[in-house]
Amino acid sequence: MIYVDADACPVKAEVERVGTRHKVQMFVVSNGGIRPSLNPLVETVVVPDGPDVADMWIADRAGPGDIVITGDIPLAARCIEGGAQVLKHNGEPLTQANIGNVLATRDLMADMRAADPFRQGGGKPFGKADRSHFLDALEHALRASQRG
């Protein structure tokens, strides 16, 4: 199965296209505002408003053999702990080997932003290369998952 943390996810259409080709059940999870897909392999899950409700829904279900698409690092850590594969929107895999450093960097950046309220910036814009890299990474993850 594929679980998509759909709030602010720029690759929902790509997940659906690749997941459909592989005939994999997909769950698109959000607090609302997402247009449901007519694809029978895609289930749109709308969770109640609240902090991390969508994350908890995904983390409670994702496990070995599943793929989670998210940019949320704490959610990624919980899913990895449960045995799922995790991909960021740009195709970067989050794994047991790198999640500790990614969490530490996230916390460091949060501390730096808190210390300097005038700090500007954010991540780089999502581009064609990111979309292409994501498609390749998802294809690879699905094949690996299907091999067992």
> pLDDT per residue over 100-133, tens digit each?
777 677 666 666 666 776 766 566 777 899 899 9
β pairing state of 93-94 and 42-46: unpaired
Q: What are the extents of the domains in the chain?
A: 2-147
Distance CA 130, CA 142 (A): 18
Q: What percentage of the chain reaches a pLDDT higher than 90?
A: 61
Tokens read off for 26: 């997909």
- Phi and psi angles of residue 76, each rounded to the nearest 5 degrees, phi first: -55, -45
Q: Are 87 and 141 in contact (CB under 8 A)?
A: yes
CATH code: domain 2-147 is: 3.40.50
pLDDT tens for the chain, residues 1 to 148:
999 999 888 999 999 999 999 999 999 999 888 889 999 999 999 999 888 899 999 999 999 999 999 989 899 999 999 999 999 999 999 988 887 777 677 666 666 666 776 766 566 777 899 899 999 999 999 998 888 6
